[in-house]
Amino acid sequence: MTESWVFAIDESSLQDYSLKGIKLDGNFILLVKIDREIYALSNKCAHMECLLSKGSLEGYIVKCPCHDWKFDVRTGEFVTANEIKIPTYQTKISEGSIYVNLEEGR
């Protein structure tokens, strides 16, 4: 598998239990920090591509602001039907910076 690590944001810019939408190399990415773990997934809902960053977070579940679809930030799975998924991405922190591997596959 190819790796394509791209700088996303400074770790200090991402608060615990918040949603942060960013654009990396043309990809709309949602960053979520929960208990010092960073999750990255597509910022577009699988239903009508609404921005998940405008939704709400309850535990590990992000709820789309348009039609209340719920996705697990760890897996990208739609809670009601896990065969529906949005892409997730690997993350890493190095020297206070968050990097995202834009190659899908988690």
In 43-105 the beta strands, taken as DSSP E runs, fall at 56-58, 61-63, 70-72, 88-94, 97-101
Q: What's the CA gap between 16 and 59, in Å, rounded?
A: 11
Q: Is 52 helix (H, G, I), strand (E, B) or coil?
A: helix
Task: Give Cα separations from 31 to 1, 66, 101 (angstroms).
Answer: 22, 19, 12
pLDDT tier, 31 (very low <50, low <70, confident <90, very high otherwise): very high
CB 47, CB 67: distance < 8 Å? yes
Please compute the mean of the pLDDT values over residues 30-54 and round it to a whole number.
95
Given a cut of 80, whether residue 100 has pLDDT beyond it is: yes
Q: Counting every residue, how long is the chain?
A: 106
Given a cut of 90, whether residue 17 has pLDDT beyond it is: yes
Which amino acid type is present at position 97?
S
Please compute the mean of the pLDDT values over residues 88-103 and round it to a whole number.
95
Q: What is the pTM of this model?
A: 0.92
Distance separating the N- and C-terminal Cα atoms of the chain: 11
Tabulate helix, strand, coil % of the chain (nearest 5).
5, 50, 45
Given a cut of 60, whether residue 106 has pLDDT beyond it is: no
Interval 43-68: pLDDT, tens: 999 999 999 999 999 999 999 999 99
